[in-house]
Amino acid sequence: MIRTFISGRRIIADVPPSPPPLPRETAAPAPSAPSGRGRIRAEIAIVLGLSLGTSAVAAIVQLIDLSTRSAPLGHQSAALNTSDSTRPVFDLLYQLIDLGAQLVPVALVCFLLWRATAPHLGALGIDARRPVRDAALGILLALVIGIGGIGVYLGGRALGVTVAVSANGLGSYWWTVPVLLLSALRAGLQEEVIVVGYLFARLRRLGVGPWPIIVATSLFRGTYHLYQGWGAFVGNAIMGLIFGTLYQRYGRLLPLIIAHTLIDAAIFVGYSWAAATFPALLR
């Protein structure tokens, strides 16, 4: 009961007491962000999980599958650039959709390593300062790696440790060659940007030394080619050692992209001619 006065007279009235103050809500603690090194490791796992890391796991499984069949490994085959539809228009659309989807992780890597100042992709070793020199080195690398790669493939076939690879499973359409060239460019961008440019940048941030990075990325490159057999693993690992050493020394990614694209373009487009000209070697 609270006593009050109105117009000089004291009036006793029942006034309900004020409600007690509501307790302050305690804000929930914000989730702690992963540490810098932990965040980099998580980022690497996500990028590889969206791209070549998944390909590596699938290649290991496929090699186990091929190796445990009744037919020897050398009597089996693998096909690249296969058709997705018997209807040419839809086959073209499926090919373009697949190529675009495989380049999304490349775009993600460029986004993650983009710099506000030019060269924007300097962290990946990509800029336009020396286009002629980069192109010349790319062509030279394509010749050296390409010739050596043919030798490794034929040696693997002779030893029975490499499957027969068909590089062009598309039909003969007006768009076949352009799609094969786009597929070669996709391979050059995807593999060199992610395996060399991105992994080198991130593993350096984790304090990994140059040679462990070169060896690890080379073995990884060989691993996602295991679906072609052990010969492809060895050949691509050697290619990774050469590319990794050059990148570590010069920090230039464009020559590697150019070389890889030219090698795959020659294989994809020239396969039909080579298969018809040298059937005994490519069977």
Kindly report, residue by residue over 218-273, the tens digit of the pLDDT.
Answer: 999 999 999 999 999 999 999 999 999 999 999 999 999 999 999 999 999 987 77
Domain boundaries in the chain?
72-282
Q: Are 162 and 229 in contact (CB under 8 A)?
A: yes
* pLDDT given at position 22: 58
pLDDT of residue 25: 54
- Which positions ≥6 away from 116 have C-beta within 8 Å? none
> Which 8-state DSSP code applies to residue 50?
T
In this prediction, residue 188 has a pLDDT band, given cuts at 50, 70 and 90, of very high
pLDDT at 8 over 60: no
